[in-house]
Amino acid sequence: MKLNNIEKKINLICPICGNDQFSSLDVPMEELKDGLETNRVQCSDCRRIFTKEELLNENQERIDNEVEQITDDITKQLDKEIKKMLRKIK
C-alpha cells in the first residue's frame, strides 16, 4: 500500500513577510528543533527576530489546516485501498 503526500513538509513562515528562511541565533540550526521555546530565530528577509514560541504561535492556525488536509488525504487514500482490497477478496 502506498500513501502519497504524507511527508509533505510543513514550513514555518515569517508572519511579517511570508518568507520561510530563518537563521538561528541562540543554537546551531540543526539543534533548534530540540531547543528551548525561547531560542531566537531571525527572518533572513525582513530581519525580524522571533522566539521559536512566537513563530510557532503565529503559524499554529496554518499548521492545523495543513494537518487536517493531510489527514483528509490519508483517509481518502486508505478508503480507496480498502475498497480495492475488498474487491480482490470477492
Q: State which of positions 61-90 bind Zn ion (CB under 5 A).
A: none
Nearer to Zn ion, 32 or 43 (CB): 43
CB of residue 69 vs Zn ion: minimum separation in angstroms? Answer: 24
Q: Rounded to an integer, what distance in angstroms lies between the CA atom of residue 51 and that of residue 57? A: 10
Site for Zn ion in 15-34 (CB under 5 A): 16-17, 19
* Residue 22 CB contacts under 8 Å (≥ 6 apart), including other chains: 12, 14, 41, 42, 43, 44, 55
Binding residues for Zn ion restricted to 31-60, rule: CB under 5 A: 43, 45-46
Residue 55: how many CB atoms within 10 A of its CB? 20
Cβ closer to Zn ion: 24 or 77? Answer: 24
Number of amino acids touching Zn ion (CB under 5 A) = 7
Q: Provide the binding-site residues for Zn ion, judged by CB under 5 A.
A: 14, 16-17, 19, 43, 45-46
